[in-house]
Structure 1
């Protein structure tokens, strides 16, 4: 729907009505997500975070799909979906606390219908399918979306989720961000057919979308969610995109991929594509562009200052997140740990 040259294209099946205000909103969200992501990489390199998985290059897939959600829809992310979190109005500091290692999750999923990051590859597809099955049994007018990568499609959990979702006609959208690399394994080592075609084997619809086109991602995801709400079952959306950075800050992509490939995909940059479209139509004046950059920078500065001053939690807090209502065995273990910890203080005093 938006070519790499910034030209608007209308699709006969998935159409989307847009206006300058929507386009500016999508642009601002992508710019903000990229700036927050860059701050995460920098903070990890400075030793302030344990790890950071970059979303660089995948902003359109995440922002477009996230803006297709209604407030009462539920999103189940993996661990790279920072732009989705921002669109769902999750405080980015909650993400940073987790990657600093001071929380196990950091937010209440019910606050924004945005569930916790899942680092176990593909496990969140089962969580989402189970939740969607519950939604279906309740007869609720809502839908569920779950995010995962191309590498996750090789996991049994994902294929089990596909099967359960199809058999139980669950109102769930499987949103696969095919960024071409499962760490150092190319996507053609994950599947001999395009990933979206796997849906047919389980009995539901699959579609591939240009993952660097924010409008296409918005239109197709919105249609998939509407379809799920109508009781027409699951749908697989394969957002064909590219991971411009490393898999995580613990990875060195220069060891397994060619620089020319990265340069080729850089010419399809999703943010540059939308900005070109805005510029061509006179819908983004310098004041707007400057304000977006300044607002993103202010957010990055807030994140930086907050992370650097973030206190470590008392170790006893780890015992409080196991059971919602407490448990006598956990209470006993916590008391034993506190006695053990106090013994070091007693030794120092003596």
Structure 2
């Protein structure tokens, strides 16, 4: 029997946790604090990334309004997570696949999904899940963590086909408590598949704070158990998120396997618009602290110092966003309403249970009148 007298497992744990310092390039004042890590982005690319972040903040505001008007169904607010979501997507190529969670609609829109389809998805319309040819995204996953297993499978498929592409997925800190999370990263790690697993740690799984979900000091360290290179990054810093995702993609397409990324961020709104009240579990002090780290404010200061961004340019983006959102919601409104029989046909490729067949015939008769 091994002598365990001198073993100190807590020392090993602390050694691992101490390795996960948060990677950052821009501080809260928009100043570069890590010049050596600056990604190779042109001025035009920096402006484009900022434009997408501003556009998405407006999209979030309008989506909340549309939800309150009854014109959208399920909606999970995204304000505060723009750097985490959009800078990671900005590091991808068109051939890469995105497997989103339900809060990750902005990434798949910028990856090519028409905005009206995103609105139809929110309404539960099957047309919202009909992705155009050449747009490499899956519909947002409602089952928390399930996209991690799917991503392991997609990545393995890309690997077996010899394609120079990656599969990227997202979940929240709560998703890291799901069994699918561990199975997905372990499978991809074992096969060295080209995947990037991102946990957007926005501090709360609905109303449960991160520290009550896990005793681990970071979520990033959980990737170590599956043999994945893992990194903790400031998720409010667009440049830092872009840099780590770009590096992860290069590792993946070079056959070096998957990477696990934890982005430290915050959602300014409720978990979803389905009755969640964040004031019941978050204090105004916490909200104020994270408001100072706003990814748009930070990146705006950086670009203004470089002479690349102005109030006029931002207003142009805002007006364009409002107009395009208006057009997209009209297209969604013009889509024929989903029939009950269409829903049932989509759910059952083969024979339906006898009780549903009876209901199907009833609805079919009603719809024909």
Shift of 1:104: 7.1
Paired residue secondary structure (1:112): coil
Query: Cα deviation per residue 1:154-180 (whole Å; 9 max; x = unaligned)?
Result: 000101111111111111110110100
Q: How does 1:37-76 map to 2 (within 5 A)?
A: 37-76=60-99
> Closer, same or farther in 2 for the Cα pair 1:344/1:201, shift >3 Å?
closer
RMSD of the alignment, in Å? Answer: 2.3
Q: Is the 8 A contact 2:96 2:166 kept in 1?
A: yes
2:55 corresponds to 1:35: no
Quote the Cα distance in structure 2 between the aligned partners of 1:149 and 1:11.
29
Residue matched to 1:280:
305
Residue matched to 2:47:
24
Shift of 1:303: 3.7
> Closer, same or farther in 2 for the Cα pair 1:342/1:183, shift >3 Å?
closer
Query: Cα deviation per residue 1:249-271 (whole Å; 9 max; x = unaligned)?
Result: 12111111101101110111111
Shift of 1:288: 2.0
Given candidates 24, 29, 33, the residue that maps to 1:9 is 33
2:106 corresponds to 1:89: no
Given candidates 305, 319, 327, the residue that maps to 1:294 is 319
Residue matched to 2:168:
145
Residue matched to 2:342:
317
Paired residue secondary structure (2:32): coil
Shift of 1:133: 1.2
Residue matched to 1:270:
295
Given candidates 111, 133, 137, the residue that maps to 2:134 is 111
Q: Is the 8 A contact 1:109 1:116 kept in 2?
A: no
Q: Which runs of 5+ in 2 are unaligned?
A: 1-24
Shift of 1:135: 1.6
Residue matched to 1:188:
211
Given candidates 148, 165, 171, the residue that maps to 1:125 is 148
* 148-157 or 288-297, larger mean C-alpha shift: 288-297
Quote the Cα distance in structure 1 between the aligned partners of 2:132 and 2:149.
16
Paired residue secondary structure (2:63): helix
Query: Cα deviation per residue 1:212-244 (whole Å; 9 max; x = unaligned)?
Result: 111111110010011011111111010100011
Quote the Cα distance in structure 2 between the aligned partners of 1:333 and 1:105.
28
Shift of 1:31: 0.9
Query: Cα deviation per residue 1:107-149 (whole Å; 9 max; x = unaligned)?
Result: 3275310111100000000000011112222222111111111
Quote the Cα distance in structure 2 between the aligned partners of 1:320 and 1:112.
25
Q: Is the 8 A contact 1:35 1:300 kept in 2?
A: no
Q: Is the 8 A contact 1:49 1:101 kept in 2?
A: no
> Closer, same or farther in 2 for the Cα pair 1:20/1:190, shift >3 Å?
same
Residue matched to 2:222:
198
Quote the Cα distance in structure 2 between the aligned partners of 1:138 and 1:209.
31
Paired residue secondary structure (1:176): strand
Quote the Cα distance in structure 2 between the aligned partners of 1:154 and 1:86.
27
> Closer, same or farther in 2 for the Cα pair 1:201/1:343, shift >3 Å?
closer
> Closer, same or farther in 2 for the Cα pair 1:333/1:318, shift >3 Å?
farther
Residue matched to 1:232:
256
> Closer, same or farther in 2 for the Cα pair 1:59/1:187, shift >3 Å?
same
Given candidates 219, 231, 241, the residue that maps to 2:243 is 219
Residue matched to 1:339:
361
> Closer, same or farther in 2 for the Cα pair 1:169/1:109, shift >3 Å?
farther
Paired residue secondary structure (2:134): helix
Quote the Cα distance in structure 2 between the aligned partners of 1:109 and 1:165.
27
TM-score normalised to structure 2 length? 0.87
Residue matched to 1:77:
100
TM-score normalised to structure 1 length? 0.91
